[in-house]
Structure 1
Amino acid sequence: MTNATRTWAGTTLADRRAIRRQQLIDAGIELLGGGDTAAVTVRAVCRTAKLTERYFYESFADRDALMLAVYEHVAESARQAILNAMVDVEPRPEALARAAVTAFVELLIDDPRKGTVLLLAPITEPALNKRGSELLPTFTAMIHDQLPDSYDETDRKLTATSLVGALTYLFISYLDGSLDVPRDRMIDHAVRMLVAAASP
């Protein structure tokens, strides 16, 4: 039996490490989601997670490694929320679009911390600049795959990329307060954009 598989109080060392890592990620979401990237220090994260720095370095090499893990955790949560919302939906453009947009809004707009991490932090945080750009194709591909067969491949790429850009700016503007509109109107508008693209 390895150290990682020995149990203590019913959990293995690997389990406890995973729990501590998630505590640190949750603390990172709390701090980075506050909008002040300078506030995200190793000491502040440990204080928020109620863990010592020893446990921080058990999971992360440095602050930037944590920032990337926080960003990727939120991005994957958003991707999964959208996919899960579309599983049992009637396969019509309007129904699929509304399910996807609503899931995104519920995760990232109704919890502004997560929205800030995914949409605003990459603009100001150097550790996330490149990764933010690298993950955009993930969401572009989700729209690309829903477009009708009447599009050729070039049109699919152009349309999906344009929609991701427009929707990203829409949600950023809503999050930072520069777009003062009712939540349901914003959702309806985003749905109409997607439906229009799926109905050339």
Structure 2
Amino acid sequence: MRDRSADRRVQLLDVGERLLGTDGSAAVGMRAVCREAGLSPRYFYESFDSREALLVAVYNRVEDRLMNHIADGGGAQPLTPRDVLERCANFFEEDPRRARILLREPLADDTLRKHSASRTPAFIRALIPLVGPELRDAVPRDAEQMEILSTVLGGALVALYLEWADGRLNVGRETVADAAAHVVSALVAMPGSAPPAR
């Protein structure tokens, strides 16, 4: 029974991810997801309290994949900030629906906006151990400064990656990674922060 319930949850997540990445949050309703998954509504509520809970679960699932994608490229040598940013670009390039889920839909959906905003500082902190000392030493220790940095950095990188993933910024992945690294260096060097990452 537990295995079947877990399988149904994965089915619902798969459909939710496909709908969110293709048609946006407005397409992710309980009925639409159940219809696509071939499951009755009672099975939806077996796994999720609400449509919003499914949206958050899909977001977290894709974000976890991004973190694993970044970490898998570390090897013996620590990643540089630019390595991390290029791996982010690679993740979105492999499947542009991922960019829609993590970057575009939080701009359009209140649930995802709040969830994404709450996750950004934790996401940046989770990245810090993956990179060398040049970024670890530059990130502010003060919680207030970290909140400001997360907000500004998140906004700048979301805009850059979205324009690129949507095809409006006609440059290669390496160029995007270079630009993103410059953005990180400039913003980490804001007043109240440590010297910029190189």
Q: Please confirm whether the aligned pair reaches a TM-score higher than 0.5, indicating the same fold.
A: yes
Question: Within the alignment, does 1:183 sit opposite 2:169 as a pair?
Answer: no
Aligned pairs for 1:68-87 within 5 A: 68-86=56-74
Q: Spell out the pairing of 1:20-169 with structure 2 (5 A cutoff).
A: 20-86=8-74, 88-91=75-78, 95-142=79-126, 146=131, 147-149=135-137, 153=141, 157=146, 162-169=152-159
Q: Contact 1:98–1:191 at 8 Å: present in 2 too?
A: yes
Segment of structure 1 superposing worse, 116-125 or 77-86: 77-86
The structure with more radius of gyration:
1
Aligned length: 183
Structure 2 spans left out of the alignment, 5+ residues: 187-195
CA distance in 1, matches of 2:141, 2:31: 49
CA–CA distance in 1 between the matches of 2:37 and 2:156?
36
Alignment gaps of 5+ in structure 1? 1-12
Q: Is 2:182 aligned against 1:198?
A: no
Task: Letter of the 1:134 partner, please give it.
Answer: S
TM-score, structure 1 as length reference: 0.76
**Do the aligned residues in 2 keep the contact of 1:24 with 1:56 (CA within 8 Å)?**
yes
> Percent identity among equivalent residues?
36
Letter in 1 for 2:86: T
1:159 is displaced (CA, Å) by: 5.8
- Tell me the alpha carbon deviations over residues 79-103 of structure 1, each in whole angstroms, 9 at most, x when there is no partner: 23223322x1423xxx533432233
TM-score, length basis structure 2: 0.76
Contact 1:140 1:161 in 2 (8 A): no
Give the Cα separation in 2 of the matches to 1:76 and 1:44: 25
